[in-house]
Homo-oligomer: A and B are copies of this chain.
């Protein structure tokens, strides 16, 4: 353990839209002591994800916003270094909402998961075996309900969630198509994430490429973007299609609500369904999803990418960077040597 103090990333002002580096500052505090029923965790990895935009916005959202002056909320993975709970001895590896900081003294109830895949890197517990993989698993399997032979289309197909969705769909016998930005990510989708095809939304002929990649239409659209990408997809929905709303990464600001083509007629004519979900509602699904995901990772059926930022100094700009599309794979911050 290199740090003798606790470095924390604090929300210093309220962003409108996407949080930028200027909305955070890093402070140094004393390492807290665990109280009765608490454990002290040394974080190893902090997570960075698109949903953090929602966590810091003032408007009513699916969780209480992070307060000004509070440690930024985040998933993290670390090791218990002091414990007031005999069930959780020192040395136990855990994940949970431990925040963007080196150390966290938390109630035991804050712990999501006691990491038990000792053969897999701890970082996977925040990615393919963590919230990303579980989000993909729940959204695709429980909302999408894929059937063999169906076409599954994924926006941000190279992302930490999207790449998992595509591969889970492939495992279930679906024809899988990624939408992604840029030729290198497009290649990554096909070569590494095993999509049947991938389409670059930045190309001028995106609409034509999309149609060509989905010759039998779209049965499931796993939507991480909203915006003009999704508008193009809606034209290709098959009868009985399911549109899973997991994120809205292409829209920088929802206040006021931006305009787009109305979806009601298409949903009616195609007897289709659009449904949003927030994985934090579905903790009862986590354990079963992790069993599947770990099995698929071990068998090479799911491949994943991680991008590890080397210190907490990278945290303030890390969310904005996601929205700039600069990352490749699950973005994490390593805070231990």
A243 to chain B, nearest CB (A): 9
Name the one of B60, B245, B268, B269 contacting A264, with C-beta atoms under 8 angstroms: B245
The number of residues on chain A lying at the interface, defined by a beta carbon within 8 Å of a beta carbon of chain B, is 38
Using CB atoms, name the residue of chain B closest to A226: B264
Q: Are B248 and A265 in contact (CB under 8 A)?
A: yes
Using CB atoms, name the residue of chain B closest to A143: B273
Which of A60, A223, A258, A264: most chain B CB closer than 10 A? A264
Taking CB atoms, residues of chain B closer than 8 Å to A245 are: 264, 267-268
A16 to chain B, nearest CB (A): 14
Which of A61, A256, A265: most chain B CB closer than 10 A? A265
Q: Are A251 and B265 in contact (CB under 8 A)?
A: yes
Tell me, in angstroms, the Cα distance from A235 to B45 when the chains sit together: 38
Chain A 280-317 interface mask (CB, 8 Å, partner B; 1/0): 01000000000000000000000000000000000000
Q: Are B276 and A269 in contact (CB under 8 A)?
A: yes
Name the one of B248, B257, B262 contacting A268, with C-beta atoms under 8 angstroms: B248
Q: Are B54 and A269 in contact (CB under 8 A)?
A: yes
A292 to chain B, nearest CB (A): 23
Q: Restricting to A45-81, which residues have a CB under 8 Å from any CB of B?
A: 54, 60-62
A324 to chain B, nearest CB (A): 20
Contact flag A261-B258 (CB < 8 Å), given A54-B269, A62-B271, A270-B276:
yes
Taking CB atoms, residues of chain B closer than 8 Å to A275 are: 267, 271-275
Q: Is A254 an interface residue (CB 8 A)?
A: yes
Taking CB atoms, residues of chain B closer than 8 Å to A62 are: 239, 268-271
Q: Restricting to A9-62, which residues have a CB under 8 Å from any CB of B?
A: 54, 60-62
Sample of 7 further A-B pairs with CB below 8 A, known A259-B259, A269-B276: A62-B268, A245-B264, A245-B267, A251-B264, A269-B278, A271-B277, A274-B274
